[in-house]
């Protein structure tokens, strides 16, 4: 089981795919993304990400016809991005305590079912999972209003996340996101329309 504190300061690369990889968010023309009305909804909500928490910096992002990529930086506890009005103090104390002494700090420890359940409950309250849940919920609701398809699932259940640990990886990922529209035809999701 992968144990990470998704509220810890760091750089996070996140990808979220449309259900069944349908191209509903727009199309790429002349190496630029042309948003559909659904893509505009996603773009609008992505730009609101720093409002969700004071430590969030939206570093780089791109919306592509059937998915989006985010490069998010969570700054140190106590950092204020100048946008959000969310209180970070209680979350900081809760996570510092929880991650300072629990079983995941012990090498090769096999957690019990109860410990795994405890971690899963905490994970849902961590910044990155909360952010992604809110983003999926809000965009899906607004897309379904436009499509007149209430309750339809628009996003794949889970998203892909990667904690960036090296400067070279950060630069490669940032360039990948920036160049994603130019390289759309080489993207692994291109041929799944």
How much of the chain, in percent, has pLDDT values that exceed 90? 61
Nearest to 189, CA basis, from 67, 69, 97: 67
Q: Which pTM does this prediction carry?
A: 0.83
CA distance 68 to 94: 31
Kindly report, residue by residue over 76-97, the tens digit of the pLDDT.
Answer: 988 889 888 876 655 555 555 4
Q: What residues does each domain of the chain span?
A: 10-192
CATH code linked to domain 10-192:
3.30.70.1290
pLDDT at residue 158 in the model: 87
CA distance 142 to 138: 6
């Amino acid at each position: 089981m992968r144990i990470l504190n998704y509220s810890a300061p760091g750089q996070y690369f996140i990808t979220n795919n449309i259900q069944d990889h349908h191209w509903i968010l727009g199309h790429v023309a002349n190496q630029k993304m042309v948003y559909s009305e659904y893509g505009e909804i996603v773009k609008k909500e992505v730009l609101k990400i720093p409002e969700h928490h004071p430590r969030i910096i939206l570093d780089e992002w791109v919306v592509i016809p059937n998915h989006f990529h985010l490069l998010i930086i969570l700054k140190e506890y106590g950092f204020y991005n100048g946008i959000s009005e969310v209180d970070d103090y209680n979350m900081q104390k809760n996570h510092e305590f929880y991650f300072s002494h629990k079983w995941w700090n012990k090498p090769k420890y096999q957690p019990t079912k109860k410990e795994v359940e405890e971690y899963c409950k905490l994970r849902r309250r961590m910044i990155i999972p909360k952010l992604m849940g809110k983003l999926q919920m809000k965009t899906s609701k607004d897309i379904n209003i436009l499509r007149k398809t209430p309750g339809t699932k628009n996003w794949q259940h889970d998203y892909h996340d990667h904690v960036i640990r090296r400067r070279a990886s950060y630069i490669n990922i940032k360039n990948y996101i920036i160049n994603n529209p130019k390289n759309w035809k080489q993207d692994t999701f291109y041929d799944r329309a």
